[in-house]
Amino acid sequence: MPSEKDAIALKQKGNKAVANHEWLNAVDYYTQAIEINDRDATFYCNRSQANIKLESYGYAVADASKAIEIDPDYVKAYYRRAVANTAILNSREALKDFKTAVKKDPGNKDAKLKLAECEKIVRHVEFLRAIEIGDPPSAFEGLDIDGIAVDANYDGAKLGEEMSQDFIDDMIQRFKNGKKLHRKYVYQIIAAVKKIVYDEPTMVEMEVPKGHQLTVCGDTHGQFFDLMELFRLNGFPTESHYYLFNGDFVDRGSWSTEIVLLLYAYKWLHPKAFFLNRGNHETDDMNRVYGFEGECKAKYTEKTFKLFSESFSALPLATLIGKKYFTLHGGLFSDDKTSLDDVRKLNRHQQRQPGQQGIMMEMLWTDPQPMPGRGPSKRGVGLQFGPDVTKRFCEANGLDAVIRSHEVRMEGYEVEHDGRCITVFSAPRYCDSTENKGAYINIGPDLKLDFHQFDAVPHPDIKPMAYAQNSLTSMM
C-alpha cells in the first residue's frame, strides 16, 4: 500500500514539474498524491495552480474549493480560486476570495494589491454595464479616414486604395524593427477587412483547387515572431497558397496588434484565398482582461480597439473545408440536433458578443474530453464533449473530422476521438512559460492532412501580458 511518504514524494515531483513549466506532468503527480491521501489541502492547492497554467480554470476553482473545504484558513487556496475566477471573468466571486485572504492574513501585501485591483475591475464592469445600450452606434460612424493626414516624416510605405504585397513586406519589416503603422493605415485596413468579412457567411465553405494548398493554423496569441517563423518554414500566403487562421490571433502575447494587422492585410490582399475564423479571444471581455485593449491604446488609440472590436464581431465562426472538415475555434454543441445547417443559418450580426450560452458561445468555447457524453467545462465556461458526440456529429453531417484550436497541445497538435477531432495550436512556448511546440496543417486537393511542427524563436525582451490592465493576469 502506498504511504503518506509516497504521497509527499509525488507532491515534490509535481513541484519540480511546475518549476520546469511541465504543467500536465504536474497535474498528474498531484493527482497521484491525492489518490493516496485525499485530505491534504496542499495537494489540491498545488494542482489548482497547475490547472491555472493550463487554462483549466474550472478545474482550478474546484481544486482550490476542495483545499478550502479541508482547511478553511488556507489563504493561498482563496488566492488561487480568486485568480482562476478572475480568468473566467467571475470578478465578483474573485473579490469575495481576495477579501477573505486579506482578512485571514492582514499582512499579506500581495493579497491586498490584488484585492484593490479586483475592486477596480468590478467597478469598471459595473460602469460598463450601466452605460451599455442595446444597439450601440458603429465605431466607423463619422470616421473620416481620408481626412487623416500622414505625417511628412513617416518613413514607411504608403497605402493607397488597395492593399499591395509591397506594403505588406514593408509592414513586416517595420514590425520586426519595433515600429508602428500610421494611424490612418491602421484604420484603413480594419475598415476594409470589416467590410469583406461582414459579407462572408457565418460558415465559409471552400475547396482546395488543383495546384493549390491550404494551411490551417491555430492560436497565435500575439506571438508575432513565431508567426514569422511559421511563414518562413511554410511559405507566405499567395493566391495559390491559402491560409486559414482559426481564431485567437490576439491577447496574452505582446505583439497582438502586429499579428492582427498583418492577418487583416493578407485578408484584404487575398480575400478569396485567406480565411479568418473568430476565436473566444476576439471578444470584448477577454480583450479587456488579457491585454489586447491595453495594447491598442498604448500603441495606437482607444478608437483602434473599438474598430477592431466591431471587426471581430463581423468575423465568420467556422470554415467548411472540402465538405469534409468542419473547422472552428472551440468545438461541438450541447445538443446532438445542432447541425451544419444550424451554423449556416446563424445570424452572427445580431449578437456582437457570444454571451454565456447558445451556439455562438459553444463554437468559441467548448473542448473535447476522452470520456463519452458531455461534461462540465474544465474552463468554467461552456462544456466538454466526448468521442461519441463527435462521431454522431460527423456521421450526421457527412464529415471526416472536426478541426479546432483553443487549447495548448505539447506537440502542437493532437488527433483524438478516433481521428475525428483534431486540435491545432500555433503558439510555440506559449506565453514564454509552456514548453510546447507549435503546429500547422497543410491540406492539398486530395484533402489529406499533413501535420508540421515548429519551435519558438527569440523575440525582443517584452513579456507576455505586458499590456494587460492589471497584475492579476500575471498569475495566470
Which residues are designated catalytic?
A: 281
- The amino acid sitting at 268 is W
Q: Sort strands 413-416 and 367-368 into parallel, antiparallel or unpaired.
A: unpaired
Return the closest-CA partner of residue 277 out of 322, 235, 239, 330: 330
- For residues 60 and 98, give the distance between their C-alpha atoms in angstroms, rounded to a whole number: 16
Burial class of 77 by CB neighbour count within 10 A (0 to 12, 13 to 18, 19+): buried
Got the DSSP string for 242-294?
A: EEEE-S--SSSSS-HHHHHHHHHHHHHH-TTTEEE---TTSSHHHHHHHSHHH
C-alpha to C-alpha distance for 422 and 380, rounded to whole angstroms: 22
What are the φ/ψ torsions at residue 119 (nearest 5 degrees)?
Answer: -60, -40
Contact assessment for residue 398 and residue 379, using Cβ atoms and an 8 Å cutoff? no
Who contacts 340 (Cβ-Cβ below 8 Å, separation ≥6)?
203, 320, 326, 397
CA dist., res. 253 & res. 220, Å (int)? 8
DSSP-H helix ranges across 270-358: 284-290, 292-299, 302-314, 340-345
Task: Report the C-alpha gap between 12 and 298 in whole angstroms.
Answer: 42
Distance spanning both ends of the chain, measured CA to CA: 36
Distances (CA, A) of 335 to 250, 308, 353, 374, 384: 30, 32, 21, 10, 12
Nearest to 366 by CA among 417, 358, 51: 358
- Residue 129, exposed/middle/buried by CB under 10 A (0-12, 13-18, 19+)? exposed
CA nearest to 121, candidates 98, 94, 91: 91
Contact indicator for 392, 398 with CB cutoff of 8 Å: no
